[in-house]
Structure 1
C-alpha cells in the first residue's frame, strides 16, 4: 500500500486528504480538510497547516490538482493569487514523489475510475457511460472547468483543457442582454463569465433590468441561496437561466469533443442535482440544429462522488508512479 496526500486547489478552497492506494489500485480517501486559499499566502503554508491539523508527519508523496493550466515550471492559479513552482515542490513540501495535474483533468480521472452508482442521470439515455469513446467533463464552480477523456480497451487517456475560456455564444435575446451587460466591462466575454458560480450575479442583474426593477446589490452566494430555497422569484429565474446556459455550453463541448457522453461535476453541479433534470438544460443541450437527434442520444450524467478532485488526483498519481492499469 502507498500513502500520499491528495490536494485539490481551487479558486476559493484548497482541499487536502490523507490517501492510500492499494496494490490492486483501489483508492481510499481519508476525511478531507478544507482551507480557504485566501487565508494562506502559498501552497507551502497551507500544507503546513494541514500537517498541523493531522497531528502526524505527512507521507512523502503528493497528488496535486490545480485550477489552472499546468504548463512549464511556474503555475499561476486562474482564480487565486498562489504561484506554484513545480521544480520546487519536492523541497517545499518534503516529498519524494508527486503528480501535478489540472483540476478538471483530475475530475476526468475520477470519472474514468468511479463506479457506475456514482453517476446520476440528467438527460439522454439512462445507460452506463460508454466503455470506449470520448466523455466530456464539465463543471461550473468559481470558474468553469472543462476536460475530456478517451476510453479504449483496458485503459483511458485524459486531456485537460481551458475550454471555460472560449467565447460565450448567446442563443436568444436574454442571452444577448447578458452578453451586452458583460461586454460593457470586459474586452471579451468568455463562457465562464456566465456559466460559473459568480456568473449568477450578472444573470440576476440582467433579468432585473429587463423588468425595469431596481438592481439589488446581491453577491452570488445570496442569489444561489435564495433561488435554491425558492425564497425570491427573481433569484429562482436567474438559476433557471443559468441551467439554460449550462445546457447550451455542455452541448457545444460535446460537439467539439466528439463525445459519446457528458459528465457534469463540481459542487455547484451537485447543488443543482434535483433542478437540472426539470430545467431547460436538456432542451438547450439538444438545440444544435441538424444535430438535434444525435444530441438527444448522448447520455448526460452528474458525478455524485463527494470529492472527485481528490479522488482523481490520487488516480493520476497511481498511474504515473505506481503503474496501475487504470
Structure 2
C-alpha cells in the first residue's frame, strides 16, 4: 500500500461507491493504481504500453491482476492522465500508437465516469500537495498565491503551469510548451542545433530535452569531436556518465542540464512563476547529485536584466514516485462533487 499526502480535496471526498481507478499513461509505460480511500493509493503497477494493443486492453490487464482484483468488485469511476493533448473526445497519442474515443472507452470498460486529461495538467494539479516529496535546487522562498511552473523530460518534454484562484482552487494550464522552437544560448548549442537540422526541419525543445534528445546531443557532440556516426542509447549514456566512465557522456548530461535550466527560466518568466518551477519527468530524478552539481541553476538565472528576478524563484525536483495520481485524484474528486 502507498499513501501519499492528502489534500483538502481528498479529505472532503467520500468513497461510498467503491475504489476508483487512476492511471498515468506515458509513451513507454502505463501506471495504474486504485484509490480505495481519500488519498490512499493501492495496487500500484506499471505496465509496458508496447505489450498491449489498446489502452482498454491495458486497463483490463491491470484490473485482472490479483492485487487489483482483490480490492474491487467493479470500478464505477476512473481518471486517466495521458501524455498527449486532450481537446475533445478523440485522443491519438503522439509518442505511442494508442488512439481512442473517451466515450467509447468509458462504455467498453463499464465506467459511470471517465475523466481523461493531459498528463502534465494532472501533474501540475499535484504540486500543492507534494509536501516533503520535492527537493529544492536554489532560489529563495516561494511567494504565496503565485503561479507555479512545471516541466519534465522523459519520453517527451511536458510543460504546464498552475494558476491560483479563489478559495484555494488552482487551474492547470493545458500547455504543449515542449514543442516550442529550441533556442540555443551559446556556440556549442548552435552547433548542436545545426546538427539536429540535418534530421529535423523543426527542432523543438522536446527534440533535445527528452530521452531521444539525450541521444541526439550525444550524436552531435560525437560528430563535433570527429567521431561521426557514433550513437548510444540514453540509459547507457547516463550510466557511463554517472559511473565516470566517459567524458563525452558526462558532457552530454551537462549540456542537457544547461538546456533544461534555460527552458525552466523561460517558463518562470513567461508565467511569472514566483511560486516556484518544478522539474518532473523520468530523467532528472535519476541523475541525483549530478544534476545538483550541473549548470542547471546557473542557466536558470542567466537572463541578463532579469537575473535578479530569477535568483529569488525556487526550483524543485519532484521526488514523489507517482505524483500524477495526486493530480488525477483531485480532478476526479472535483468532477464527482460537481
The normalised TM-score by structure 1 is 0.93
**Pair 1:276 & 2:291 matched:** yes
Greater mean alpha carbon deviation, residues 266-275 or residues 162-171? 266-275
Aligned residue in 1 for 2:164: 151
Deviation at 1:112, TM superposition (A): 2.2
In the alignment, structure 2 segments of 5+ residues that lack a partner are: 1-13
Aligned residue in 2 for 1:250: 264
The number of residue pairs the alignment matches comes to 316
**Pair 1:29 & 2:44 matched:** no
CA contact (8 A) 2:76 2:111 kept: yes
Pairs within 5 Å for 1:302-317: 302-317=317-332
SS state at 1:263 partner: strand
The normalised TM-score by structure 2 is 0.89
CA contact (8 A) 1:227 1:239 kept: yes
In the alignment, structure 1 segments of 5+ residues that lack a partner are: none
Pairs within 5 Å for 1:118-267: 118-125=133-140, 127=141, 129-152=142-165, 153-260=167-274, 261-267=276-282
CA contact (8 A) 1:120 1:301 kept: yes
Pairs within 5 Å for 1:79-90: 79-90=95-106
SS state at 1:123 partner: coil
Q: Distance in 1 between matches of 2:112 and 2:69?
A: 21
Q: Distance in 2 between matches of 1:198 and 1:187?
A: 16
Closer, same or farther: CA 15–58 of 1 in aligned 2, 3 Å: farther
Aligned residue in 2 for 1:15: 31
Deviation at 1:287, TM superposition (A): 1.1
**Pair 1:48 & 2:60 matched:** yes
Deviation at 1:216, TM superposition (A): 2.6
Deviation at 1:285, TM superposition (A): 0.6
SS state at 2:202 partner: coil
1:22-43 per-position Cα deviation (integer Å, ceiling 9, x unaligned): 3xxxx11114211111111111
CA contact (8 A) 1:112 1:156 kept: no
Deviation at 1:58, TM superposition (A): 4.2
Closer, same or farther: CA 316–124 of 1 in aligned 2, 3 Å: same
Pairs within 5 Å for 1:63-82: 63-82=79-98
Deviation at 1:274, TM superposition (A): 2.1
Aligned residue in 1 for 2:7: none
